[in-house]
Amino acid sequence: MDDSVKRRAVHEIRRILEAAGYDIEEEGDPFDFSALAGRECILTLCTDDPAIARRFDHTQYNLDDAGERVPCKKLIYTSNPEIRPKEGVLWQNRDLARYAGEAAVARISGERLVISWGSAPGREGMKPHMAGDAPPPGRIRALPIRATADEAMRISGQNGPVRLRMIPAWVYDYSCKGDASYKGKQITFDANGSGAISAVNGLPQDLDLDAISEIEIPGDAEMVRPSILQKEAEEKILTHLIGALSKRVRIKTESGDAIFSEEKTFRPPRDQIERSIQLTYIPIWQIRGKHIVEVNAFTGEILSEPMDEGVELL
């Protein structure tokens, strides 16, 4: 890899990671630059030299965070097919092209590109997810409309104007791998799952996630804008997951004839929880008769509370 190609590759990877919210710091040998986001550190090396790549891949690098040593992730970009890292993530030309395109969309939309690590980085690489970027223009991720406007009016018991409103929610997947030990007791945090929160008020949403698909934006629908943007939603979701995955453990110890019982709460570190998040819409029929009634267009159920602010159901 000649110097001009390397400079262009470094520049492009920097822009990708910047679109994902990382702060870039220039470095000298043995890698090109580091990218920092909270406690997460990614070291990047662009090379076609197998010996240099192997040495970088086999070396353990740590970030010193207030006296705590946090392992750094390693990213290797190369056009040499013989380079196959065991520990680090491998990016080749096709990966760079894909991620650069998604980063460009993120910059245009103003949303942050989210890059989560696979469980086996050397084989799976980084998996980029960006809220709202998957569907092409004119399409959205949403629950399907199963109840018609006439059915919604009949269900509501109201006669009056009916309009379709698309209410946003943040749908997420997560995976946690890690453990802790205390006085001989081993605590594991291994878990994975999915969920959703409202993009309007941040409250948990009970959605049929398997039914979500890409649909054309209905021409007569009101698209409600998210009040909670991606970054805030990610923080809410992460806080919830840390609490949900925390474990309270009772530990008994003996000292002579006495038995002592100690309770301790263990929480998974933030960087052990991988997650992806996407903006998804819930279709709602709003009927304005003597009273305002909203009907979930997917389930056909009358809402007891509005799914967004500024609407009072009577």
**Cβ atoms of 253 and 183 closer than 8 Å:** yes
pLDDT of residue 266: 85
* Residue 118 clears pLDDT 60, i.e. is over it: no
pLDDT of residue 239: 92
pLDDT of residue 132: 38
Arithmetic mean of pLDDT over the chain: 83
Confidence of residue 127 (pLDDT cuts 50, 70, 90): very low
Q: Which residue has the higher pLDDT, 259 or 228?
A: 228
Q: Is 261 exposed, middle or buried (0-12, 13-18, 19+ CB in 10 A)?
A: exposed
Confidence of residue 257 (pLDDT cuts 50, 70, 90): low
* Residue 294 clears pLDDT 90, i.e. is over it: yes
* Residue 76 clears pLDDT 90, i.e. is over it: yes
pLDDT of residue 314: 42
For 24-74, write each residue's pLDDT tens digit: 887 777 889 999 887 788 999 999 999 999 999 888 888 776 677 778 889
By percentage, how much of the chain surpasses pLDDT 90?
Answer: 33
Q: How many CA atoms lie within 13 A of 292 on its CB side?
A: 10
Rounded mean pLDDT, 158-187: 87
* Residue 119 clears pLDDT 60, i.e. is over it: no
Structure tokens at 290: 């003597």
Rounded mean pLDDT, 169-192: 85
* Residue 80 clears pLDDT 60, i.e. is over it: yes
Structure tokens at 261: 């019982």
Rounded mean pLDDT, 230-236: 91
Rounded mean pLDDT, 21-26: 86
* Residue 267 clears pLDDT 50, i.e. is over it: yes
* Residue 217 clears pLDDT 50, i.e. is over it: yes
